Amino acid sequence: MPEEPKSAPGRKRGEKKRRAAAYHEAGHAVACHMLEHPFHYVTILQGEGTHGHCKSKKPPRWFNPELNLDDPRCAKWLDEEIIILYAGGAAERLFTGRYNHIGRARDYDVACELSLYRCGWTKVVEAHIRWLHLTAEYSVESPMWRPSISAVAQALLERETLSAQEVAEVIRAHWDALISAEQEARRQQRAAD
Ligand SMILES: [Zn+2]
C-alpha cells in the first residue's frame, strides 16, 4: 500500500509557494501520465523538506538497470524517468518564472544517480542529463502537455491530492471541454455565414 500523503504539522506557506508547488507537482504527474509511467498519486501537501510529491509505482519487472541496460526498454524507461524528474522544475519555471530550489535539488540528484547507470562517466552524465533536461523543458511547452499541466495544477490547488486516475480524468475533461468549445464556435460560425 502506498503511504498516505500527510501534511507536516505547524508549517504554513504563502499562496505563491503553494501555487509553485502545484505547477511543479503537476509537471511530474503529467509527464508520468503522458509517458505511461504508473504512479499512485500526486499531492501538494507539505512533507519533511518538500512542497509536495508525486508517488511512483514500482517499475515493470524487466526494468533492472544494474543488470540489463542492454535491453532497449530498460534504457528508454530510465531516460523517461529522468524527463519526469526534470518536468517538475521545468513546469514550475514555465508557469511561475522560478524554480522550487528544494524540490529541484532533490530531482537533480536522483537524475544524476539514474544517469550514472547509462553513462558511467561524469562528463557523459552531464551531457546526458542536459539533453534530457532540455527534452523536459521542450515537452512541458508542447501543445499537449502545457494545457494539461495547467489543468492538473488548478485541480491540485483546489483538492491538494489527486490519484493517477483523477489526474487522467482532469486531463480528459480539459480536452473534452476544449473540443466542445471549438465545435460550438464552428457551429456558430456556420450559422452566422
Ligand atoms: Zn520535483
What kind of fold does domain 15-192 have according to CATH?
Answer: Methane Monooxygenase Hydroxylase; Chain G, domain 1 (1.20.58)
Q: What 3-state DSSP class applies to 13? A: coil
Give the C-alpha separation, 189 to 69, whole Å. Answer: 55
| pTM for this prediction | 0.86
Find the 189 Cα to ligand 1 centroid distance in Å. Answer: 44
Q: Are 60 and 77 in contact (CB under 8 A)?
A: yes
Find the 8 Cα to ligand 1 centroid distance in Å. Answer: 17
Strand order in the sheet with 39-43: 53-56, 39-43, 161-163
Give the C-alpha separation, 145 to 156, whole Å. Answer: 16
Find the 14 Cα to ligand 1 centroid distance in Å. Answer: 19
Q: What is the mean pLDDT of the chain?
A: 89
- Above 50 in pLDDT, residue 10? no
Find the 106 Cα to ligand 1 centroid distance in Å. Answer: 7
Find the 149 Cα to ligand 1 centroid distance in Å. Answer: 14
pLDDT for residue 1: 45
- Above 60 in pLDDT, residue 155? yes
